[in-house]
Structure 1
Amino acid sequence: MSRALVLLLAVACGVIVANTYYAQPLLPTIAADFQLPEGLAGLSTTVPQFGYAAGLVLLVPLGDLLANRALITVLLGINVLALAATALATGPGPLWAALAVVGMTGSTISVLISLAAALAGQHQRGRVVGALMTGLLLGVLLARTVSGALAQLAGWRSVYACAAVAVAGLAVALRLCLPNPPASPGTSYARLLTSTVGLVRTEPFLRRRMVSGALCFAAFHLFWTALPFLLSAPPHAYPTAVIGLFGLAGAAGALAAQPIGRLQDRGLARPATAALLLATGLAWALTGAGGHLLVALLAGILLLDVGVQGVHVLNQAAIYGYPASVRSRVTTAYMSAYFCGGTAGSGLAVPLYDRAGWLGVCAAGALLAVCAAALWLTDRVPGPTAVPTHHHTTTH
């Protein structure tokens, strides 16, 4: 793959994924605009995650069946319309409906990453996946900064209006620059979905990566969904724009994604995963003190993002060792579990913060890190091999 194409795909991942995260620093503003209690306002972050998970299950497997370039173009066109509807929403119901579609079509990212892994080949797969993940993670982290700043200048609706314009331009660029591998005929949509379930049932290596990713992403979303409520209240009492700037503290961690991806190619994934899980546990200890100590909070953000996203990069680079004919379905299985974990973390964050405060949030995050470490300690499953033939896209 050329560097220019890798860069375009990395930018695409960042731009598309940001749409799912813009709402996090906007929750207090959205709650005030629609006169919602804080608990209900939290649905503005949870609903897109549910939509993303649905897209992973229902749309991403189509990458093993349809021509990828056409599929990506159509999904991004729908994403543009949903973003425009979000900006024009007249109440919480229309807002959440539009955000659900934004999340669902945002799963296009997984089609892009799977396509990139197939184009890259085994010798550069870790590096290419790491590069795309760097773009994706920067999109996740900087989304908070961008949305906070735009909302401060022109209101929260301007965030989604600008996002619609950005995705429209991106769709045109991808249509012009992506190669167009042919479709893979020979199966029905229903059989495609069924074979995804079969892969999960028969592949223990895949199942363990699914659980590991879900635990880590639940911790990630638990933190970032609860954080705006901590920062907007005394003793911090920061405005929305300043809350969004906290995303910059984790941006440095995203830059580690490509070097971490190379570790998979060098056979160092297991010790690297141990170090990353240790960093995640330490992050929760620091953020627990960060309720009053800003330096500890910033250090905790950096470690949490490096740990969680590093584990994700290694998991993805590992599962793309499966044959290309099932790669979109493997992606569906892993990413569905991953984002279901994130959705659970988002849904738990606000009620947990209401009932147990910031220390309760940190205790729950630490427990998730311990569970992920226990899974690593008991992992003796060999890596991916050739899958049974009935999982391939065939006519019989």
Structure 2
Amino acid sequence: MVVANNYYNQPLLADMAREFGVSEGAISDVPMLTQIGYALGLFLIVPLGDMLKRKRMILIDFAFIIAALISAGWAPTPAALKVSSLFIGLTSVIPQIMVPMAAQLAEDHNRGKAIGTVMTGMFIGILGSRTLSGFIGSYLDWRSVFFIASGIMAVLWLFLKWKLPEITPDFKGSYRQLLFSIVDQFRNRPRLRLAALRGSLVFASFSVFWTTLVFLLETPKFGMGSREAGAFGVVGIAGAVIATVVGKLSDTMNKNVIISVSTLIAMISWIILGFGSGSIVLLIIGALFLDLGIQAVHITNQTIIFENNPPERNRINTVYMVLYFTGGALGTFIGGIVWQHFGWTGVAAAGFGFGALTLLVHGIWRR
């Protein structure tokens, strides 16, 4: 439910552009700024999970999530919407505190499975959010999506206050020392650096697709809109279920092999999508394989970085996810540019290129 806040805007971009009277390229800054805000939240907020009582921290953060969502719904100008979107991303980092919690609470032989279970919920939120926002946007308007989301967050706050367990923090230093220690994690953990770079590149590929899909569907060739773009989230949910399976496999199989195969699947999906500029069937098949490949790489990456249950788990996750969502922001930015200048062919080439870079980086540095 929380991670969904970052993705409600993507099927609604064309509706926002029409209301504000701006170009599609200009409004594509909205998801980019949301992802930049998320990256900032990962760096500034998530490490606090190693320092503060997590339940109290999570409940306080929810108040800021609700305020940011209401602000987006009331935004009178594109600039105000972009600022609100930045704060939605900044505050909606709660799932990245819960992933290390799952890793901490799990036994060694079940850690991959536990991470996969939590990540399945996250992926369903990421992909289902597009279906929900596209549906609401087509029958009400894009502003209603943010108001409804704020209501969902208020209900979830009550549920978490009732059910979420408290976990005692591990870190005893100051906030300044905590932030500086993030750099130490990056510098001293080569497997973390590689996992973060792989994750950044594959998520860029993922974001290229979801940022530009609604623009393709609104062309005369398809004549569709935000509702149909959001419906593609249902296709992705089918791929999201694979997260639990991949989590189990990563407890027993060679993780380098899983990553190589998964990246190839993502690259093949872009070949299918490239030929799908006039076929809804090919777009659906390509979207399914893209989600499957990206999620399998992501789950395996996280299983690698949480091996042996390190006490710095929240800071480790911060390094990984900051770079991951920085890649997502880059993919959103590149997607908007190539769509404007080169159309769907440019989009497919950019998505395939990010996949090829992932495979190249993995092949060179995995040892």
Normalised by the length of structure 1, the TM-score is 0.90
**Match 2:127 to one of 133, 141, 152:** 141
8 Å contact kept, 1:232–1:243: no
Higher mean Cα deviation, 27-36 or 178-187?
178-187
Question: Which residue of the partner structure matches residue 91 of structure 2?
Answer: 105
Structure 1 unaligned regions, length at least 5: 1-14, 382-396
In the other structure, the counterpart of 2:39 is 53
In the alignment, structure 2 segments of 5+ residues that lack a partner are none
| Residues 355, 197 of structure 1: alpha-carbon distance in 2 compared, 3 angstrom cutoff | same
- Partner residue of 2:219? 233
Q: CA deviation at 1:87?
A: 1.1
The residue correspondences of 1:159-308 to structure 2 (distance < 5 A) are: 159-184=145-170, 186-308=172-294
Mapped contact 1:23–1:147 kept (Cα < 8 A): yes
1:341 aligned onto 2:317: no
Q: Report the CA distance between 1:289 and its aligned residue.
A: 0.3
Q: 1:366 aligns with which of 348, 352, 356?
A: 352
- Of stretches 33-42 and 300-309 in structure 1, the one that deviates more from structure 2 is 33-42
3-state DSSP of counterpart to 1:187 = coil
Greater mean deviation of Cα atoms: 43-52 or 243-252: 243-252
Deviation at 1:249, TM superposition (A): 1.6
Pair 1:126 & 2:139 matched: no
Segment of structure 1 superposing worse, 225-234 or 320-329: 320-329
Identity of aligned residues (%): 35
Q: Deviations over 1:200-252 (max 9, x none)?
A: 11211110001000000000001110111111112011022122112212211
1:26-79 deviations in whole A, cap 9, x for unaligned? 011101111122111111111110100000011111011000111111111210
- Distance (Å, rounded) in 2 between the aligned partners of 1:202 and 1:322: 16
1:123-179 CA-partner distances (Å, limit 9, x unpaired): 221111111111111111111110011011111111011100111111221122121
What's the counterpart of residue 14 of structure 2?
Answer: 28
Partner of 1:384: none
Matched letter for residue 45 of structure 1: P
Between 1:220-229 and 1:168-177, the stretch displaced more is: 168-177
Cα distance, 1:288 vs. partner? Answer: 0.3
Q: CA RMSD in A?
A: 1.2
| Structure 1 consecutive aligned stretches of length 4 or more whose deviation exceeds 4 Å | none
- When structure 1 is superposed on structure 2, of 206-215 and 149-158 the one drifting more is 149-158
Distance 2:309 2:113 in 1: 18
Q: Distance in 2 between matches of 1:360 and 1:89?
A: 32
